[in-house]
Chains A and B, each alone.
Chain A
Amino acid sequence: MTTGKPRTLYDKIWDDHVVDIQPDGTALLYIDRHLIHEVTSPQAFEGLRIAGRKVHAPAKTLAVVDHNVPTTDRSKPIEDPQSKAQVEQLAINAADFGVEYYNEHDRRQGVVHIVGPEQGFTLPGATIVCGDSHTSTHGAFGALAHGIGTSEVEHVLATQTLIQAKAKNMLVKVNGKLGEGVTAKDIVLAIIGKIGTAGGTGYVIEYAGEAIESLSMEGRMTVCNMSIEGGARAGLIAPDEKTFAYLKDRPKAPTGEAWERAIHYWSQLKSDPGAHYDAVVELDAGNLPPVLTWGTSPEDVVTIDGLVPTVESGKTEAQRAKIARALDYMGLKGGEKPTDIKIDRVFIGSCTNGRIEDLRAAAKIAEGKTVAAHVNALVVPGSGLVKEQAEAEGLDKIFVAAGFEWREPGCSMCLAMNPDRLAPGERCASTSNRNFEGRQGFKGRTHLVSPAMAAAAAIAGHFVDVRDVK
């Protein structure tokens, strides 16, 4: 692992996984871990069957169902015939190709990006891919993790490698200490607001600085998860003692001598002093208020004490057209205070904010209060194990007493492939990652927020500054 030139964390992981350099300069990169879900894998397995190919490394592959599964009573069959067929196909493919699979009745089932870390399948320094853009989540462990398309899923299944061009390095340094009520979600929304939704295109982002180091593993996962919303396929945070403590004794984490050797290797996974970054962005978290989105792109952010932009505030014709389209879709005029925006629905969950710490933060706000009469609020734990943990802590009782619905794990209303979705025109405070047109349901209106902000909005019936909630 030693060469003369100072290297970034990304450079180091990259160098340790190059199998071959192709004549055009792209690399054949070895993939250590491959996560599979039901939506982006059926056509890949079909491709293997047609070509008579096997899965090259079944032990490095883990399948879980998440996008389609209903979050209501799991003892009933899936009603939607297409969803049901897709779920059944994953079970068949996993069995036929010898891949470990967590079905919807398994307590380990959940959103693929919550399951990987929880099982210790996600490890520092590993290359991790999945047919899902939020694979960037796993970068919180110092893994090089990114989403791939289905053709690439098939390529990884068949060869355990991927053809890759090396990305550029971007450092996002988040300085200062977060204020009370301000979270990892607010940090990442602020970063995307700053760099724009294409700002990270072509880069791997390394997050560093005091505010990042202070985050829990859950918070770091939230930040890395939304790297793709800033255009970067992968986000990375150097592993440290918190990372190792999180992984220790996880079912698939190394044990005994292998654990000691792994810690030794993982401890070297940090950028060298003087390593070159192609771009550096700094953000001061010390003065950051809670952040929410107002429009239809994750870059459309406003602080809770700010104002929704007006069309006139656009600097170019293209910007004014973009703002006008987003305001129209969102049913806003421009110039509103976020605290004056009324909501109809609340969604707490997803690979961005469906972990135990997220549910604790939301429950802390909800405890002893009642969801506003006109609001329907859902809490969807990220996995069966998160659900068990939350129930052991009594969080489910707090939510239910406050009028939230307590559901079974899955992707749910983050992308509304299952029955959880917005009706046309409904406005949602959502802890998920995308506020695209139609994302949570046809003509649905999504505002991205942290779990605490979502819970506070559920109680008030409109957005509130969570720092004012007592």
Chain B
Amino acid sequence: MDKFTVLTGVAAPLPITNIDTDMIIPKQYLKTIARTGLGKGLFSEMRYREDGSENPDFVLNQPAYRKAQIVVAEDNFGCGSSREHAPWALLDFGIRAIISTSFADIFYNNCFKNGILPIKVSKEDLAKLMDDAQRGANATMTIDLAAQEVRGPDGGVVKFDIDPHRKHCLLEGLDDIGLTLVKAPKIGAFESKIAQERPWI
């Protein structure tokens, strides 16, 4: 997993509530057995027309936002299915951070496993950042994870909270499985205990 330290990039505004995982990556792209290559399917049903050509109205098709690395969206981003294809598609497109007032639990969790930073901000701060994002290629934002702040194009600073363990893992690019396997003796002891107490498990 790539580390996340400081990111400076264009932020694309998606002023939609309840952006669900079917919107982020529709099912026809879920048939892959790889983690990569999903960027082409990102927001497919909004991004492409029925004949497969690009929909020029969609934000990521506009010249200023084609290389966006940040998405700014309304409430409850990532609701719906558990598909990790959603963060994989965002990452493959080049998105490393999402800013919203709230995220669905499973999606939120999945982001951290893939080096994507989901940032929760207040309604007021979101309005400000959405406004910044709407200024196109001039809307470069800097996200500094160590300092826990988003710096807008005008020098405005928005602070955000993040769980310290998740922050540490993102900053270092750490993989959970390796960390958990260190605890194998504790897992073994727990299994011996439940074999006695709940033998049907």
Complex interface residues of chain B between 19 and 42 (CB less than 8 A to chain A)? 20, 22-23, 26-28, 30-35
Shortest distance from the beta carbon of B65 to any chain A beta carbon, whole Å = 20
Q: Roughly how many angstroms separate A26 CA and B166 CA in the complex, as a whole number?
A: 11
Q: Which residues of A contact B96 (CB under 8 A)?
A: none
Is A265 touching B84 in the complex (CB atoms < 8 A)? no
Is B82 touching A231 in the complex (CB atoms < 8 A)? no
Is A43 touching B34 in the complex (CB atoms < 8 A)? yes
Q: Which residues of A contact B92 (CB under 8 A)?
A: none
Partner of B79, one of A160, A163, A197, A416: A197
Q: Which residues of B contact A86 (CB under 8 A)?
A: 31-33
Q: Known contacts A82-B32, A86-B33: does B113 contact A152 (CB below 8 Å)?
A: yes
Is B199 touching A163 in the complex (CB atoms < 8 A)? no
Interface presence of B45 (CB below 8 A): yes
Q: Known contacts A68-B31, A201-B104, A442-B50: does B82 contact A437 (CB below 8 Å)?
A: no
| Central interface residue in A30, A131, A149, A442, by most chain B CB within 10 Å | A149
Is B33 touching A436 in the complex (CB atoms < 8 A)? no
Q: Which residues of A contact B109 (CB under 8 A)?
A: 148-149, 152
Could you give, for residues 104-129 of chain B, a 1 whenever the CB lies within 8 Å of some chain A CB and a 0 otherwise? 11100110011000000000000000
Interface presence of B76 (CB below 8 A): yes
Is A198 touching B75 in the complex (CB atoms < 8 A)? yes
Is B84 touching A40 in the complex (CB atoms < 8 A)? yes
Q: Roughly how many angstroms separate A415 CA and B25 CA in the complex, as a whole number?
A: 12
Complex interface residues of chain A between 101 and 126 (CB less than 8 A to chain B)? 123, 125-126
Shortest distance from the beta carbon of B81 to any chain A beta carbon, whole Å = 5
Shortest distance from the beta carbon of B143 to any chain A beta carbon, whole Å = 22
Q: Which residues of A contact B33 (CB under 8 A)?
A: 42-43, 46, 85-86, 89
Is B31 touching A83 in the complex (CB atoms < 8 A)? yes
Q: Known contacts A123-B200, A254-B200, A258-B199: does B190 contact A30 (CB below 8 Å)?
A: yes
Q: Which residues of A contact B82 (CB under 8 A)?
A: 40, 131-133, 135, 147-149
Q: Which residues of A contact B200 (CB under 8 A)?
A: 123, 253-254, 258-259, 261-262
Shortest distance from the beta carbon of B199 to any chain A beta carbon, whole Å = 6
Interface presence of B181 (CB below 8 A): yes
Q: Roughly how many angstroms separate A297 CA and B79 CA in the complex, as a whole number?
A: 10
Q: Which residues of B contact A318 (CB under 8 A)?
A: 17, 74
Q: Roughly how many angstroms separate A68 CA and B103 CA in the complex, as a whole number?
A: 28
**Number of A residues with CB within 8 Å of any CB on chain B:** 79
Is B181 touching A159 in the complex (CB atoms < 8 A)? yes
Interface presence of B146 (CB below 8 A): no
Binds B, one of A17-25, A389-397, A448-456: A17-25
Interface presence of A307 (CB below 8 A): no
Q: Roughly how many angstroms separate A197 CA and B9 CA in the complex, as a whole number?
A: 31
Interface presence of B69 (CB below 8 A): no
Q: Roughly how many angstroms separate A228 CA and B33 CA in the complex, as a whole number?
A: 25
Partner of A150, one of B23, B45, B84, B163: B84
Q: Roughly how many angstroms separate A242 CA and B177 CA in the complex, as a whole number?
A: 39
User: Which of under 10, 10 to 19, 20 to 34, or 35 or more describes the interface residues of B?
Assistant: 35 or more
Q: Which residues of B contact A39 (CB under 8 A)?
A: 30-31, 83
Across the interface, name the chain B residue whose C-beta is closest to A82: B31
Could you give, for residues 143-178 of chain A, a 1 whenever the CB lies within 8 Å of some chain B CB and a 0 otherwise? 000111111101100111101010000000000000
Q: Which residues of A contact B104 (CB under 8 A)?
A: 198, 201, 231
Shortest distance from the beta carbon of A389 to any chain B beta carbon, whole Å = 26
A interface residues (Cβ-Cβ under 8 A, vs B): 19-20, 22-24, 26, 28, 30, 32, 39-40, 42-43, 46-47, 51, 53, 56, 60, 67-68, 80, 82-83, 85-86, 89, 123, 125-126, 131-133, 135, 146-152, 154-155, 158-161, 163, 165, 197-198, 201-202, 228, 231, 233, 253-254, 258-259, 261-262, 265, 297, 318, 321-322, 325, 415-417, 424, 434, 436-439, 442-443
Instruction: Sample 23 A-B pairs with CB under 8 A, ordered by A number.
Output: A24-B164, A26-B163, A28-B183, A30-B191, A43-B33, A43-B84, A85-B33, A123-B200, A125-B198, A131-B82, A151-B84, A151-B113, A152-B109, A160-B187, A161-B183, A201-B103, A201-B105, A254-B199, A417-B27, A417-B28, A436-B23, A437-B23, A438-B45
B interface residues (Cβ-Cβ under 8 A, vs A): 15-18, 20, 22-23, 26-28, 30-35, 45, 50, 74-76, 79-84, 87, 102-106, 109-110, 113-114, 163-165, 176-177, 180-181, 183-184, 186-187, 190-191, 194, 198-201
Instruction: Kindly list 18 other residue pairs between chains A and B, CB separation below 8 angstroms, not including A198-B79, A415-B22, A415-B27.
Output: A20-B183, A20-B186, A26-B163, A67-B30, A85-B33, A131-B84, A132-B82, A133-B81, A133-B82, A149-B110, A158-B180, A161-B187, A197-B79, A262-B198, A297-B18, A318-B17, A417-B30, A438-B22
